[in-house]
């Protein structure tokens, strides 16, 4: 093991038993100089693979080229990743994934599967839901990979009901500091029929360093479960209203990533699809006619039975942005008969990854 690797190993190991860190929000603690030392993503990936040596290898997922829809640009595309990574406390204590062995959920290894997925695609912008290891894991490691991060926990996270929890879960947004400069950031507690709810969003305006163009990026996780369709719809309307203001009435190009907990048939989906923000859902472009969402973005087996749903979306301003490529989903065969999460894949939701480019300005 070379010097670099052993230094990294200690960096990764440090995040394993650090639940105490979550009691001291990072912004209250003086930065540890070791935490600021950059990490080579290749070395961290190797380190993760060493931890995962007893697990089956990652599944291959290919990017689908959609460049027919994409103007040629001399600027590199902007890669955006959307992912509900499954809160550790919910996975172990609440979700009731009846076909997933408890050993597959061990944080020490699951953490490495999550990092491996992020490192495999190296997004410029990373939008996460169900993050309950921000301060002790994702913020320190992703900072050292060059990301700037923001976390907004749910006010009454269900994680807090689970014994030995690691704090509340929430949304997290990361962007690469060498590609973007933060212009403006808003933490939004969503309302429904004027009442404050337990669901949140983060919206940030970024300036792209190569092109000097601005981009608004938002991440959210709407209320789960059947029976809450009208509630989700109201939360979606509140988010759209906030985004209208933040984008100055769609003047700033927008990308909204989220676990909407809603199938495309739901009202909240229809609000987004027909909004005056002029949004399209990127993953529809993988279908033959460009009009259908994928058959699933989450697939699990609970005590109530099999749950296969399309709930996760990447919405984008169709007048200002184009999708150059999108990462294909895992196939039914890859997901396997016990569905997700599993020894192969760390969450019950699949990651969505798209490459965007700006359209020419009119």
Ligand X SMILES: NC(=O)C1=CN([C@@H]2O[C@H](COP(=O)(O)OP(=O)(O)OC[C@H]3O[C@@H](n4cnc5c(N)ncnc54)[C@H](OP(=O)(O)O)[C@@H]3O)[C@@H](O)[C@H]2O)C=CC1
**What's the min distance (Å) between Cβ of 152 and ligand X?**
13
Short-list 285, 351, 279, 289, CA closest to 315: 279
- Binding to ligand X in span 171-230, by CB under 6 A: 198, 223-225
Minimum CB distance to ligand X smaller for 179 or for 223:
223
CB nearer to ligand X: pick between 71 and 155? 155
Applying CB under 6 A, the site for ligand X has a residue count of 18
Tell which one of 26, 109, 130, 136 touches ligand X (CB under 6 A): 130
Given the structure tokens 């495309």, which residue do they identify? 264
CA distance 177 to 180: 5
Residue 298: its H or E element: strand 298-302
Q: Does 259 bind ligand X (CB under 6 A)?
A: yes
Give the 3-state secondary structure of 176-231. Answer: ECCCEEEEEEEEEEEEECCEEEEEEEEEEEEEECCCCCEEEEEEEECCCCCCCHHH
Binding status of residue 132 toward ligand X by CB under 6 A = no
Q: Are 102 and 360 in contact (CB under 8 A)?
A: no
The piece of 93-101, 109-117, 178-186, 272-280 that touches ligand X (CB under 6 A) is 93-101
Least distance in Å: CB of 306 to ligand X? Answer: 12
CA–CA distances in Å: residue 236 to residues 231, 256, 278, 342: 9, 11, 15, 31
* % helix, strand, coil for the chain, step of 5: 30, 30, 40
Which stretch in 48-56, 63-71, 112-120, 155-163 sits in contact with ligand X by CB under 6 A?
155-163
Instruction: Return the number of the residue (64 or 98) whose C-beta is nearest ligand X.
Output: 98
Decide: is 154 part of the binding site for ligand X (CB under 6 A).
Answer: yes
Q: How far is the CB of 163 from ligand X (least distance, A)?
A: 13
CB closer to ligand X, 160 vs 186:
160
Tokens of 361: 């300005």
Closest to 217 (Cα-Cα) out of 165, 276, 169, 149? 149
Binding mask 295-334 for ligand X (x = CB under 6 A): -------x--------------------------------
- Residue 290 and residue 325: Cα distance in Å, rounded? 13
DSSP class per residue in 277-288: T-EEEGGGGGST
Does 161 interact with ligand X (rule: CB under 6 A)?
Answer: yes
Single out the residue of 160, 186, 240, 273 in contact with ligand X (rule: CB under 6 A). Answer: 160
Q: Is 95 in the site for ligand X (CB under 6 A)?
A: yes
Among 22, 84, 143, 242, binds ligand X (CB under 6 A): 84
- Contact predicate 329/294, CB 8 Å: yes
Q: Which residues bind ligand X (CB under 6 A)?
A: 84, 90, 94-96, 130, 154, 156, 158, 160-161, 198, 223-225, 259, 261, 302
């Amino acid at each position: 093991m070379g010097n670099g690797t052993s230094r990294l190993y200690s960096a990764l190991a440090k995040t394993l038993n650090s639940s105490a860190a979550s009691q001291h929000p990072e912004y209250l603690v003086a930065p540890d100089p070791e935490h600021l030392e950059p990490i080579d993503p290749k070395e961290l990936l190797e380190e993760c693979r060493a931890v995962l040596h007893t697990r089956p290898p990652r599944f291959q997922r290919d990017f689908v080229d959609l460049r027919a829809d994409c103007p040629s640009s001399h600027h590199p595309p902007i890669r955006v990743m959307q992912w509900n990574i499954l809160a550790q406390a919910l996975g172990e204590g609440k979700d009731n994934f009846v076909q997933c062995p408890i050993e597959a959920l061990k944080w020490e290894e699951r953490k490495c599967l999550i990092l491996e997925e992020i490192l495999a695609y190296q997004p410029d912008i990373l939008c996460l839901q169900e993050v309950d290891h921000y301060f002790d894991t994702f913020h320190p490691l992703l900072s050292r990979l060059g990301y700037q991060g923001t976390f907004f926990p749910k006010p009454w996270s269900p994680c807090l009901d689970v014994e030995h929890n690691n704090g509340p879960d929430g949304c997290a947004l990361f962007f690469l500091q060498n590609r973007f400069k933060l212009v403006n950031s808003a933490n939004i507690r969503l309302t429904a029929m004027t009442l404050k709810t337990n669901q949140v969003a983060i919206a940030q305006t970024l300036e792209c360093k190569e092109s000097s163009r601005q981009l608004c990026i938002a991440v959210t996780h709407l209320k789960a479960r059947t029976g809450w369709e009208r509630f989700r719809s109201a939360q979606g309307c509140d988010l759209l209203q906030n985004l209208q203001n933040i984008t100055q009435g769609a003047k700033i190009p927008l990308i909204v990533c989220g676990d909407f907990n809603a199938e495309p048939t739901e009202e909240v989906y229809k609000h987004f699809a027909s909004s005056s923000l002029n949004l399209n859902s990127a993953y529809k472009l993988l279908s033959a006619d460009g009009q259908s969402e994928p058959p699933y973005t989450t697939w699990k087996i609970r005590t109530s039975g099999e749950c296969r749903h399309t709930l996760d979306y990447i919405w984008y301003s169709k007048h200002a942005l184009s999708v150059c490529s999108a990462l294909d989903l895992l196939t039914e065969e890859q997901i396997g008969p016990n569905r997700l999460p599993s020894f192969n894949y760390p969450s019950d939701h699949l990651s969505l990854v798209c490459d965007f480019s700006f359209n020419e300005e009119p």
